[in-house]
Amino acid sequence: MKPFSFLSFGKKSRRKKTAKNRRWLTKRKFLLVASLVVLLLAALYIIYLDFTVRTRFEGRRFALPARVYARPLELYAGLKLAPSELVAELALLGYREATSPREPGSYQWRNQQVELVTRPFTYGDGPQESSSLRVSFAGDRVTALQGRADNAAIELLRLDPALIGGIYPGNNEDRVLVRLDEVPQLLVDALIAVEDVRFYSHRGIDPRGIARALVMTVSGKSVQGGSTLTQQLVKNFFLSSERTVRRKLNEMVMALLLEVHYSKEEILETYLNEVYLGQDGNRAIHGFGLASSFFFDKPLMQIDLTEAALLVGMLKGPTYYSPRRHPKRALGRRNLVLGEMAEARFITDQQLLAGRITPLGVVDRPPRGISPYPAFLSLVHRQLRRDYRDEDLRSEGLQIFTTLDPWVQRSAEKALSQQLKRLEQGRGIAADSLQGALLMTDVQNGEVQAVVGGRDPRFEGFNRALDAQRPIGSLIKPVVFLTALQQPQSYTLATLLDDSPLLLQQPGTDDWQPQNYDKKFHGPVPLHTALAHSYNVSTARLGLQLGVPSVLDNLGRLGVDRQLPGYAASLLGADTFSPLEVAQFYQTLASGGFRTPLRAIREVLTFAGQPLQRYPLKVEQVVDAPSNYLLTVALQEVVQQGTARGLHRYLPAELNLAGKTGTTDEFRDSWFAGFSGDRLGVVWVGRDDNQPAGLTGASGAMTVWAKMMVGLDLEPLILPIPDSIEHVWIESKSGLRSAAGCPDAVELPFVTGSAPTESASCGPGSKGNPIKSWFERIFK
């Protein structure tokens, strides 16, 4: 055993101490390096957050929905418009009745005068300022437009168009952007008093405010929260809604960074446009600019103290404090805000007392954001997709001016829903089993004035007007007869067609034996009579003589831009079409043979009001004037004495309407297409399950068409007679010339040189034997 040595013990002690120091130094270095790494990572993370803040905030590009407007009503002396119709239009626009109109968007109706103050609006051709005017009437016609201040005559004035819907971003956010100088100071004061009383003095976060809010919240004496306006903006603009420490730390850091780079005014303006303030169906109301319109139907600059206090109070819980659903809660919350404003010396005690007894003042009206015309809006969206990306439609704030006529649309909706109900009740059909669809267009320019996709016009689902593919039955027959009339040396309105039994046998297909609706055959019938009474057999035989491909080629020229199979049954409407497609080819016939693509859009403006694209009228003549004239005369006969003669129970004969009924096998589909001098309407009635509806074209769709047109101001259909047309008296039975006053004589138009040269016994230059003459003509 070694002896004990103090020297050796000291050496061991020093070695242990040195090792301990080395370990401590190593640990210290590690901690220092770790701290530096943490600081570096924190710095990098802050740089990342700073980049995020500056990138997102400097753009400050809110996703703005496209806004869709109806046509503006143009007022001028001589316009056929009743005072009640003008008032109905003003109500649709949200104008308020007032004893003495002074504010834009107000009116007064007294006897034969309507005084109003229009709203300013920016059109593609420039801004239109607000006008104060008087509209005078005599019966149902405008006699004068005058300025209320100086009685100066006004030649033409456009009302602001009705907002009929929007195309919203994927999250369905909607907002109306406002600049800070467009925000009333009392709204800013209310916001500062309630949400962030030290907004103009802190640098993004407010430790004193957090402590004060905590104490006051516990005591129940305040409505303030702990987050500053800047923090709230960061949370809404950059972060998710999760409640974690990490998100809160991010919020505080980003709030500090935001205040470093941007002014209080920029932060406040963005906050005012960003915040969520309510829900309109599936549309989210964001920003005070839209909220003022949604709740008070007025621009933000026009709201008063109590309205500003209500909007600010709703920030705490837009659903919980909704003034429409929970008015008592909203009233209490608003009054708390007024109290905070008084405590912060933004308002006087007198203003506080007066404000607390003021009603909420929220307007009770259908919300504008959810389109009342989903079927029409669907057509607009489809046409826009041809020229714009969907993301641009949903985010760039485009202004879309359409062709929808609210007055026509209302008449169409009412006619369809009410008449379907009457048909069910009157014919013992199960309630709500019938469906329908219709379109109305302007025959001169192809503008779509109304679209109804079903008996419930507010339903946003299946749009039968655009998407229902149904056999059209006899609606195809005018195309067959037009194809014949385009060959005037072979076919005229007087040409006798064979309506005797027909059997078509073709290899690989079933025998085809068409029947007439009355289950009878009518022998030789004049071409115009065969169309007027919608004889199937004579039409089929005519179409086979012309050739099915020729008929379908004509249909393509009229506006149907897809290939059809081309069966013999196509001649009687076995092919399926949507009401929109039917409207397109009938539009060509109604406009005198000029094909005009149907359009629902007039022009598109940017958010700033700059013209982006116009949709000009495109016209191409595809049917010669004489042939189209002859066919239209025949379609007028359909209404006068053919399958659509029942229209005279609803509309005066002086309108000279033209149209065609359509019925499909087993009465599954009921159609009517008809036009006046200014409007074309196409109606389909049937069942979604394709079961028989028990209705012909005349007993179903035509009655809807008639009810719709009764509510409108139709122009008579007065046909200009082409130079190459002559009128000749014809004996119907023989198809030979006759004379006025002779039995069975009818005056028909012909292309010059195509009228028969031989005469019946009663006519001049008679050959004496009409039967012999007829046979000689047939077998020459």
Note the pLDDT tens digit of each residue in 38-60: 676 666 666 766 666 666 666 55
Query: What CATH homologous superfamily does 173-356 map to?
Result: Biosynthetic peptidoglycan transglycosylase-like (1.10.3810.10)
Q: DSSP for 172-240, please give it.
A: -EEE----GGGS-HHHHHHHHHHH-TTTTTSSS--HHHHHHHHHHHHHT-----SS-HHHHHHHHHTS-
Please check the confidence at residue 546 and state whether its pLDDT lies above 80: yes
- Comparing 615 with 97, the larger pLDDT belongs to 97
Please check the confidence at residue 671 and state whether its pLDDT lies above 60: yes
SS3 call for 662 = strand
Given the residues 474, 534, 570, 699, select the one marked as catalytic: 474
**Range list for CATH 3.30.2060.10 in the chain:** 66-167
pLDDT of residue 9: 47
Q: In what order do the strands lie in the sheet with 173-175?
A: 173-175, 283-286, 276-280
Phi-psi domain of 9 (left: phi exceeds 0; alpha: psi -120 through 50; beta: other): alpha
Beta strands in 668-710 (DSSP E): 669-675, 679-686
Q: Is 55 exposed, middle or buried (0-12, 13-18, 19+ CB in 10 A)?
A: exposed
Give the bridge partners for 525, in sequence order: 497
Given the residues 89, 195, 269, 581, select the one marked as catalytic: 195
Give the bridge partners for 399, in sequence order: 67, 605
Does the structural domain 66-167 have CATH classification 3.40.50.1100?
no
Average pLDDT of the segment spanning 595-621: 88
Distance CA 494, CA 588 (A): 24
**Range list for CATH 3.40.710.10 in the chain:** 416-710
**Range list for CATH 1.10.3810.10 in the chain:** 173-356
Average pLDDT of the segment spanning 118-127: 88
DSSP H helix total and E strand total for the chain: 23, 31
Asked whether 543 and 551 are in contact (CB, 8 A), the reply is yes
SS3 call for 722 = coil
Task: Tell me which H or E stretch contains 165.
Answer: strand 163-167
Please check the confidence at residue 401 and state whether its pLDDT lies above 90: yes
Please check the confidence at residue 774 and state whether its pLDDT lies above 50: no
Distance CA 177, CA 732 (A): 70
Q: Tell me if residue 474 is catalytic.
A: yes
User: Among 3.40.50.720, 3.40.710.10, 1.10.10.10, 3.20.20.70, what is the CATH number of 416-710?
Assistant: 3.40.710.10
pLDDT of residue 242: 64
Distance CA 549, CA 571 (A): 10
Q: Among all chains, which residue has been given the structure tokens 């094909």? A: 595
Asked whether 644 and 661 are in contact (CB, 8 A), the reply is yes
Asked whether 415 and 374 are in contact (CB, 8 A), the reply is no
pTM: 0.81
Average pLDDT of the segment spanning 435-448: 97
Q: Cα–Cα distances in Å, from 291 out to 183, 288, 391?
A: 12, 5, 24
For 257-309, how does the pLDDT look when each residue is reduced to its tens digit (9 = 90+)? 777 777 888 888 888 988 999 988 778 899 999 999 899 988 898 899 999 99
Average pLDDT of the segment spanning 650-669: 97
Q: Tell me if residue 242 is catalytic.
A: no
For the record, the structure tokens of 594 come out as: 């000029």
Please check the confidence at residue 224 and state whether its pLDDT lies above 50: no
Rank 215-224, 228-237, 661-670 by mean pLDDT and report only the highest.
Answer: 661-670
* Residues comprising the chain, all counted: 780
**Angle of the 406-427 helix axis to the 701-710 helix axis, nearest 10:** 140
Angle at CA 123, nearest 5°, toward 147 and 114? 30
Q: Among all chains, which residue has been given the structure tokens 């949709």? A: 615
Phi-psi domain of 409 (left: phi exceeds 0; alpha: psi -120 through 50; beta: other): alpha
For 137-154, how does the pLDDT look when each residue is reduced to its tens digit (9 = 90+)? 999 899 999 999 999 999
Average pLDDT of the segment spanning 750-770: 74
For 485-537, how does the pLDDT look when each residue is reduced to its tens digit (9 = 90+)? 999 999 999 999 999 999 998 887 889 999 999 999 999 999 999 999 999 99
Rg (alpha carbons) of the chain, rounded to whole number: 38
Asked whether 184 and 295 are in contact (CB, 8 A), the reply is no
Angle at CA 535, nearest 5°, toward 533 and 541? 145
Whole-number percent of the chain with pLDDT over 90: 63
